[in-house]
């Protein structure tokens, strides 16, 4: 919330502050015994007039040049110089001159303090402000109405609402003028304390002080944030009655911003249209309103008008807003054009604009440009890192996201809530429990753990890392659950094959008075599918449109086909697809094809495969499935034919990849590859396991080997499936009591599924495999999926 000092300002301030402390010691004497004001010895000279003249023309540098030449400038002139810097900056100069005044033994007047305090506010220099407060007190000026109002404003702007309030309470009712009230109201509104702001406003009215347009400009933002439309409308009509509007662009901007935030975009636009002299801020507020309501074409059209019709130059805030629109539209071309414009105009140094550029490139999937741009940025903040981390996660570079997070920590940049929300899905995706746990710990330490979004992300992380009971503990402790919390938990139960728990939580959700949404039904249907609960699945599928008025989407149909086909009702699934109200996509057919393989139904497999080929290049992975269907019944020629079609079309099978986390490090393995530095010991372990497994009765499942090869060779090909390599590595490095968690990018194959059962018997270990669709918890030669996946 608090605006921060820019780095260079801070360092200058620090230097000044150290200098000031020395001067302070020397000047104490003068403060307690104010010397007489020096006589205006140079009044005859022309120089003071020149200083005034330059200041009035805003030529501060020239004014200072002349001022420095005057031997004994009058206090009035000192005050004028201090004021000039306090208005136009550099603010440090105001403070510097003030300290110089003290050093020379001059006594500040009640006109000095308001300006030097204003400079303190601009620099967020609370400590220095307190010191100056003390000076005013020693001079008996702190109760002066000008000084006390300035002090109040300084405390408020520096974020110390308590001291501001204390000072305000000590002020007499006569002294509490409109300026003092406005300072208090602005402070509370700035800190988004809506109730307190409104209370102050009503107290002000009770005190008989009539609010002016500045009061409302301060109050309106907090009304917008609190979505308090009625209060906003009341202020609007009050402004109309008091005719505050006549070309008050600042008030109009505050009003349109309030309406946009209160979901009344058309009102906002009406107000925008009434403004005669539109400025950059007014246009940007309106564009931001459009972006907030996802009306991107309107946002871009207004940006065009801003440049071409109103002849205004975009500010950094405008550009950041328009870049957000480009990101939402994944309009890379326009985004790049804007980037060029930004470089040409030199605005690219602004951190906000830089962050929006990162987001834009990330949303458009151009991660290299996003990362390159981050490296180039001179000032990075937590928002920059949140943008790049969430970009990495969205584009499937979860490991890179963790890497960047580590880089961020090593640079000493404190992550925001948004950073953690962006990072947790990376841990979920990689099943990186150690990283996930430390994210959770961090969220607790930073006091984020009451935030609903972060809790949802943590629940998802634990569930995807195989710790569903911890997920439930967090879910139960949550203070404010939203529908995403419920959905995440139900999905978690589903992928762990805990259908009873999933359905019971679903009933709890309905009993709690919350309404399930379309995602809830995807969660419920896939939970039924993972456990083969056909009747329940059918019931909820028809119930969702009948009782909850939710129209099934493609995802719901995929779940249903999956549910019917896996349970062996292939014909029913086929008819179900044909009766769909829209054209089924490749995923719907893919679900059926997978079941054709499990149930060895060649005829339907061929039929479905043809349908998929007609749908074009989307069906990549399905060639593999069909080829496996043929090889499962020994039709090797047909299997080879399918593979050759696949090659002919240039489709590549995505390689099977599994990974396992050992002491916080993710080790990834690709099927058949032996790139890992420890591949020799992994090989030995695998061969040793094979011998043991065969003694217990393991036979390699030939239907998943590529060609009609010798039995022994099949065994060896299958032995180097990525999940087996990862498990061997886990056995080598995990303590025997620890469960091994392996994550796979595809579905687990039937041979690995059966082999892992034998491995749990052989090694007396628990092994969990998270494949692309669910968890398989292996223990004592069994899997909790009951071979249903
Ligand atoms: Zn396998
Ligand atoms: Zn299983």
- Rounded to the nearest angstrom, the distance between the alpha carbon of 752 and the centre of ligand 1 is 4
Q: 780 C-alpha to center of ligand 2: Å? A: 13
Residue with tokens 């001059």: 106
Phi, psi (rounded to 5 degrees) for 658: -130, 155
Which ligand has the nearest atom to the CA of 724?
A: 1
Query: How high is the pLDDT of residue 245?
Result: 67
Total-model pTM: 0.68
Pairing of strands 657-662, 740-744: antiparallel
| Closest ligand relative to 749 C-alpha | 1
pLDDT at 652 (0 to 100) = 58
- Any idea what the Cα angle at residue 303 is, between residues 300 and 306, rounded to 5°? 155
Ligand 2 centre distance from Cα of residue 251 (Å): 64
Q: Which ligand is nearest to the CA of 717?
A: 1
CA of 720 to the centre of ligand 1 (A): 8
Please give the structure tokens belonging to residue 17.
């502050």
Distance, in Å, from the CA atom of 119 to the CA atom of 122, rounded to the nearest integer, reads 5
CA of 691 to the centre of ligand 1 (A): 17
186 within 8 A of 220, measured Cβ to Cβ: no
What are the tokens at 478? 């949550």
Closest ligand relative to 628 C-alpha? 1
Structural tokens at position 595: 């079941």
Each domain of the chain, given as residue ranges in start order, spans: 1-31+45-176, 282-366, 657-783
DSSP string covering 490-558: HHHHHHTT-HHHHHHHHHHHHHTTPPP-HHHHHHHHHHHHHHT-HHHHHHHHHHHHHHH-----HHHHH
Cα-to-centroid distance, 523 and ligand 2 (Å):
19
C-alpha 746 to ligand 1 mean position (Å): 10
Distance CA 744, CA 771 (A): 5
Distance 558 CA to ligand 2 centre (A): 21
Ligand at minimal distance from the CA of 744 is 1
Ligand nearest to the CA of 755: 1
**How close is the Cα of 564 to the center of ligand 1, in Å?**
25
Q: Which ligand is nearest to the Cα of residue 719, counting in written order?
A: 1
What's the CA gap between 646 and 397, in Å, rounded? 27
Distance of CA 758 from the midpoint of ligand 2 (Å): 13
* C-alpha 715 to ligand 1 mean position (Å): 11
Q: How far apart are CA 362 and CA 391, in angstroms?
A: 5
The token pair at 612 is 């998929």
Look at residue 13 in the predicted model and tell me its pLDDT: 37
Nearest to 362 by CA among 338, 337, 384, 340: 384
Judged by its nearest atom, the ligand closest to the C-alpha of residue 725 is 1
Rounded Cα distance between 245 and 581, Å, is: 54
Q: Which two tokens stand for residue 217?
A: 């400009």
Measured distance CA(256)–CA(324) in Å, rounded: 20
Distance 740 CA to ligand 2 centre (A): 15
Q: How confident is the chain (789 residues) per 10-residue block, as mean pLDDT?
A: 37 39 37 38 64 82 84 85 84 87 83 88 85 84 81 84 84 79 86 86 86 87 88 87 77 91 90 88 93 90 90 87 88 87 73 86 85 83 89 85 89 87 90 90 88 94 94 94 95 92 95 92 92 92 94 93 92 94 88 85 87 67 69 69 67 75 86 80 92 90 56 76 92 90 87 93 93 89 82
- Expressed in angstroms and rounded, the spacing between residue 777 Cα and the centre of ligand 2 is 7
The Å distance, Cα 615 to ligand 1 centre, comes to 28
Residues measured by CB to lie within 5 Å of ligand 1, the ion: 721, 749, 752
Q: According to the model, what pLDDT value does residue 398 have?
A: 86
Instruction: Decide if 285 contacts 322 (C-beta within 8 A).
Output: no
Q: How far is the CA of 402 from the centre of ligand 1 (A)?
A: 28
Q: 678 CA distance to ligand 1 centroid (A)?
A: 21
Encoding tokens for residue 654? 């995505």
Q: Is there a contact between 121 and 157 (Cβ–Cβ < 8 Å)?
A: yes
CATH class of 1-31+45-176: mainly alpha
C-beta of residue 589 within 8 angstroms of C-beta of residue 597: no
117 to each of 60, 72, 222, 250, how far by Cα in Å?
Answer: 19, 24, 25, 24
Q: Rounded to the nearest whole angstrom, what is the distance from the C-alpha of residue 505 to the centroid of ligand 2? A: 23
The pLDDT, as a whole number, for residue 750 is 84
Please report which ligand is nearest the Cα atom of 752: 1
Distance CA 662, CA 32 (A): 68
pLDDT given at position 288:
93
| Cβ proximity of 753 and 787 under 8 Å | yes
Query: What does the block give as tokens for 288?
Result: 């931001």
Residue 747: nearest ligand to its CA?
A: 1
Nearest ligand to the CA atom of 748: 1
Ligand that lies nearest to the alpha carbon of residue 781, given by its number in the listed order: 2
Ligand 1 midpoint to CA 624 (Å): 13
Pick the ligand that lies closest to the CA of residue 722.
Answer: 1
Ligand nearest to C-alpha 783? 2
């Amino acid at each position: 919330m608090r605006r921060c000092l820019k780095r260079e300002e801070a360092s200058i301030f620090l230097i000044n502050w150290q200098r000031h402390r020395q001067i302070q010691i020397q000047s104490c004497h003068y403060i307690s015994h104010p010397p007489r004001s020096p006589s205006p010895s140079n009044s005859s000279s022309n120089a003071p007039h020149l200083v005034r003249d330059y200041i009035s023309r805003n030529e501060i540098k020239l004014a200072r040049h002349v001022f420095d030449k005057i031997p004994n400038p009058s206090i009035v002139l000192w005050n004028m110089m201090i004021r000039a810097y306090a208005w136009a900056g550099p603010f440090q100069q105001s403070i510097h001159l003030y300290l110089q005044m003290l050093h020379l033994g001059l006594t500040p007047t009640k006109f000095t303090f308001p300006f030097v305090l204003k400079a303190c506010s601009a620099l967020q220099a609370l400590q220095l402000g307190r010191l100056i407060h003390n000076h005013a007190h020693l001079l008996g000026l702190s109760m002066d109405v000008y000084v006390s109002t300035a002090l109040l404003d300084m405390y408020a702007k520096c974020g110390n609402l308590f001291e501001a309030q204390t000072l305000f309470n000590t002020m007499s009712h006569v002294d509490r003028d409109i300026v003092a009230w406005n300072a208090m109201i602005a402070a509370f509104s700035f800190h988004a304390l809506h109730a307190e702001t409104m209370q102050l406003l009503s107290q002000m009215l009770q005190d008989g002080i009539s609010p002016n347009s500045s009061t409302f400009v301060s109050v309106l933002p907090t009304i917008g944030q609190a979505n308090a439309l009625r209060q906003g409308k009341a202020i609007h009509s009050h402004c109309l009655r008091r005719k505050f509007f006549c070309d008050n662009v600042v008030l109009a901007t505050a009003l349109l911003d309030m309406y946009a935030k209160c979901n009344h975009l058309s009102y906002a636009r009406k107000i925008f249209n009434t403004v005669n002299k539109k400025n950059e801020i007014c246009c940007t507020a309106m564009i931001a309103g459009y972006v907030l309501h996802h009306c991107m074409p309107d946002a871009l059209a207004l940006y065009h008008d801003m440049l071409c019709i109103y002849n205004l130059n975009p500010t950094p805030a405008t550009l950041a807003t328009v870049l957000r629109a480009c990101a939402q539209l994944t309009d890379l071309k326009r985004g790049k054009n804007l980037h060029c414009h930004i470089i040409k105009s030199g605005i690219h140094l602004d951190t906000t604009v830089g962050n929006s550029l990162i987001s834009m490139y990330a949303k458009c999937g151009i991660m290299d440009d996003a990362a390159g741009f981050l490296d180039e940025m001179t000032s990075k903040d937590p928002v920059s890192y949140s943008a790049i981390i969430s970009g990495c996660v969205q584009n499937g570079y979860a490991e890179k996201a963790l890497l960047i997070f580590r880089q961020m920590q090593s640079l000493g940049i404190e992550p925001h809530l948004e950073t953690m929300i962006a990072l947790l899905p990376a841990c979920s995706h990689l099943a990186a429990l150690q990283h996930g746990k430390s994210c959770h710990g961090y969220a607790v330490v930073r006091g984020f753990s009451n935030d609903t979004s972060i809790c949802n992300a943590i629940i998802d992380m634990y569930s995807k890392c195989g710790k569903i009971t911890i997920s439930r503990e967090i879910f139960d402790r949550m203070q404010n659950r939203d529908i995403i919390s419920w959905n995440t938990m139900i999905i978690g139960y589903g992928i762990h094959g805990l259908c009873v728990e999933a359905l019971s939580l679903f009933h709890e959700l309905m009993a709690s008075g919350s309404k399930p949404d379309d995602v809830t039904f995807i969660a419920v249907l896939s939970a039924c599918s993972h456990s083969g609960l056909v009747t329940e699945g059918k019931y909820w599928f028809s119930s969702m449109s009948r009782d909850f008025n939710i129209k099934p989407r493609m995802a719901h149909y995929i779940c249903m086909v999956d549910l019917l086909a896996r349970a062996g009702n292939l014909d029913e699934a086929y008819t179900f697809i044909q009766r769909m109200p829209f054209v089924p996509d490749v995923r719907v057919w893919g679900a059926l094809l997978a079941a054709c393989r499990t149930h060895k139904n060649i005829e339907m497999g061929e039929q479905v495969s043809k349908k998929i080929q007609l749908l074009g290049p989307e069906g990549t992975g399905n060639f593999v499935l069909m080829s496996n269907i043929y090889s499962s019944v020994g039709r090797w020629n047909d299997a080879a034919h399918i593979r050759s079609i696949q090659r002919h079309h240039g489709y590549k099978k995505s390689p099977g990849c599994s990974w396992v986390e050992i002491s916080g490090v993710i080790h990834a393995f690709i099927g058949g590859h032996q790139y890992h530095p420890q591949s020799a010991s992994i090989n030995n372990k695998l061969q040793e396991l094979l011998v043991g497994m065969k003694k217990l009765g393991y036979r390699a499942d030939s239907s998943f080997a590529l060609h009609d090869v010798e039995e022994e060779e099949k065994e060896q090909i299958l032995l180097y499936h990525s999940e087996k390599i990862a498990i061997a590595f886990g056995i080598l490095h995990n303590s025997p009591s620890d469960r091994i968690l392996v994550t796979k990018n595809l579905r687990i194959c039937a041979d690995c599924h059966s082999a892992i059962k034998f491995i749990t018997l052989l090694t007396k270990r628990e092994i969990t495999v998270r494949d692309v669709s669910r968890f398989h918890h292996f223990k004592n030669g069994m899997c909790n999926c009951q071979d249903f996946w």
